Amino acid sequence: MTGEVSPEQAEKILAMLTEGKSIGNVNTTLALRLIPLAEEIGRAELVERLLEHAHKVAQDDIERGWVDFEKYKLSNYEPEKFAELSARTELLNNGKHLSAAIQHHLGLIYLSQENYTDCETFINRSLRLREELEDESGLIYGLAVLEAACKRQDEHEQALAHGTRRLELLMKNEDLEGQMEAMSDIAHTQATVGAFDAATDLYNQSLELANQLEDMSGQLVARWGLCDICEIKGDYETAMIHLSDCLHAFIAMGLTAPLQVRERLEALTNLNNSSGQE
């Protein structure tokens, strides 16, 4: 739920801001921010009402462009419609932020379709605008998409280049959660090309951050990656230690560990036992 808001809280917030004449005090920006909240609790009629209201009270073409962008996303418009909207908005004063966002979204659409050529084309266009705007958050998001696209095409050197630049920006912005994720992504690529020492170092750094942040998902990803490397090297005992540590971390937090962890730990235990008997 958006911002960790419960369904009950979401209902109260939406009722307070949209019922009766209250919606008259809601501007375009706020209306667009309320739409995901209404979507998540299944209020389709309120989503439509908020869209109409946002367009009605829009102060200029930029605000109307953001409303159209949201409408296109909700209606799953064809990529060509997004491209047309991006081209129009880029020509407007202060329209580059919106155009960059639309082009980024187009890149994600093409990534989901495994159309990597068009994905990279639109993400790179978005990045050029974000470079001009010095929008480092936007650059980080775009680089992550390029990294993913390159990895899916086995273009590992390019993936490493994008991932490294992404990590540098995250470090500059002191985004610890982002660094944790980026380090694991780069580590996976390093492991794929056989650079196991570099991969191990990055996974350990990611794990250290995940422990610091008490991020169980981050801990799982890092320990799973370390286990992969150990298993490739035939070091089943260390691999089991990584999975056991992962299991204990979940238990310590009062959480149920993913079934895959228990299954893999059991499989490794059997493999280690059979290996020791030979």
**193 three-state secondary structure:** coil
The span from the CA of 79 to the CA of 104, in Å, is 12
- List the one residue out of 181, 228, 189 whose CA is nearest residue 207: 181
The span from the CA of 90 to the CA of 87, in Å, is 5
Taking only Cα atoms into account, the Rg of the chain, rounded to an integer number of angstroms, comes to 23
What's the pTM value of the predicted model, to 2 decimals? 0.90
Identify the burial level of 254 via C-beta atoms within 10 angstroms of its C-beta, where 0-12 means exposed, 13-18 middle and 19 or more buried: exposed
Domain boundaries, the chain: 1-60
The string over 7-19, giving b where at least 16 C-beta atoms fall within 10 Å of a residue's C-beta and e elsewhere, is eeebeeebeebbe
Identity of the amino acid at 88: R
The gap from C-alpha 145 to its chain's centroid, in whole angstroms, comes to 9
85 neighbors 102 (Cβ within 8 angstroms): yes
pLDDT in tens, the chain (278 residues): 445 678 889 899 999 999 888 899 999 999 999 999 999 999 999 999 999 999 999 999 999 999 999 999 999 999 999 999 999 999 999 999 999 999 999 999 999 999 999 999 999 999 999 999 999 999 999 999 999 999 999 999 999 999 999 999 999 999 999 999 999 999 999 999 999 999 999 999 999 999 999 999 999 999 999 999 999 998 999 999 999 999 999 999 898 889 999 999 988 888 777 665 55
Phi, psi (rounded to 5 degrees) for 143: -65, -35
pLDDT at 257: 87
The span from the CA of 113 to the CA of 105, in Å, is 13
